[in-house]
Structure 1
Amino acid sequence: MPTLYLGQSVVRGALAEPEQFAWEAAAALTSRDCDTFPTQRTDDAVRDWLVSNSLSERRRQTVQETAREWGDATAAADAKAGARALSHLSAMRDDQRRAWLGRYFATAGRCDVSGVPTL
């Protein structure tokens, strides 16, 4: 979980930046300390589904805008595929998503991505 500092991230008993805290907590849950990131799209989709706040939306928009501005067709296609992955996760029935997330989190933090379910 993110580190909290009294007077900075917690003021008068409340989170100063609740969206930032939620994003950092979800990022910690979905991060892998690996040299390569073959599951990045899946990890991003899970983090964005867990958080579903303006920071996640802004991150996705920035990636899409940057790809367009630079004329990077590969990055633009990756951004679209990421949006589809998030849509797929969001569209699952609750029981399906619960089972899928169980399989996903069973592989959390591992660099052996052979068991990471795909979206």
Structure 2
Amino acid sequence: MAMAVWAGGLAGAAVLAYAARRRWTALLPLAAATAAGALLAQTGDGLWHTDPLARRQVCDTSVAPAVCVNARYAGALPQITGALSGVTGRLKGVRNLPVRWEDRDGGPRDDEAELPSLTPLGWSFVRGRLTDTGEFAREAVGTLVLRGDCPDDRLGARFERADDAVENYLAPLPSRRYFDDLDSQGDARRRAALARRRAARARLAAMGEQERRDWLSAYFAARAACDPSGVPAL
């Protein structure tokens, strides 16, 4: 209320001052703005109140990683868990995963991955519904795989091929075919790199279930430690 009076008073004073020039009526909104400004100054940080729900998360711990959303969007949790069910289903039994996908202000902790943002509303999340569950799942896989702050000098071809294979296995990206086609028409170096990526994807997909769980467990441990030598061969 004080903010409205302050802003309105300043605007009103400016308009009336221009129209009435030196007439005393221009002083009334200015006086109101001055009083409201003093109130704002005295109130300080206490004027702004964070929505208490924004500090809390609600989680579905029946899957791993657990899926957590900001409490403001608690009603969307079943839908979001459902959108990630294909990913969590493929990760069943895999070790060394983050504890949860989190959805709160600030970056994720070391044992967390960041849930794709549900804001700004009106783009990927409209009227409490995800507009593209497949894209949401692919973004969640991206934050799962690329979490942490591995320096560039610790990343190399071994991680790149493994990351690509894991992302392709957990949530295939339709546009990957487009980029693969571009590389297939590139120079010898790009074609050779594409052949290695495709071979790695095929080997991961062809593994038996237990072998793949063991491979993924070792991969996520190496990813968390930024240790390329810990990435099992593909």
Q: Which structure has the higher relative contact order (CA within 8 Å, separation 6+)?
A: 1
Which position in structure 2 is the counterpart of 1:40?
Answer: 160
- Tell me the SS of whatever aligns to 1:4: coil
TM-score (norm 2): 0.45
**Larger C-alpha radius of gyration, 1 or 2?**
2
In the alignment, which residue of structure 1 is the partner of 2:185?
69
Per-residue deviation, residues 26-49 of structure 1 (Å, max 9, x unmatched): 111111633143110111100110
Offset at residue 109 of structure 1 (A): 4.0
Q: Percent identity?
A: 38
Question: What aligned pairs does 1:1-119 form with structure 2 within 5 A after superposition?
Answer: 1-5=115-119, 6-31=121-146, 33-36=150-153, 37-38=155-156, 39-52=159-172, 56-59=173-176, 61-70=177-186, 72-119=187-234
Bigger share in strand: 2
SS in structure 2 of the partner of residue 108 of structure 1: helix
**Matched position secondary structure for 1:40:** helix
Q: How many residues align?
A: 114
1:55-101 Cα offsets, whole Å, 9 max, x none, are: x2421x2333222434x111111111111111111111111111111
Q: What is the letter of the counterpart of residue 178 of structure 2? A: T
- Aligned partner letter, 2:193: D
- Matched-pair contact (CA < 8 Å) for 1:2–1:21: yes
Whether contact under 8 Å (1:67, 1:73) holds in the other structure is no
Larger mean Cα displacement after TM superposition, 29-38 or 9-18? 29-38
Contact 2:185 2:191 in 1 (8 A): no
Instruction: Using the TM superposition, name which of 40-49 and 109-118 deviates more.
Output: 109-118
Any conservation in 1 of the 2:219–2:231 contact (CA below 8 Å)?
Answer: yes
The 1:83–1:68 alpha-carbon spacing in structure 2 relative to 1, beyond 3 Å, is closer
Code of the aligned partner of 1:95? Q
Cα distance change of structure 1 residues 87 and 68 upon mapping to structure 2, 3 Å threshold: closer
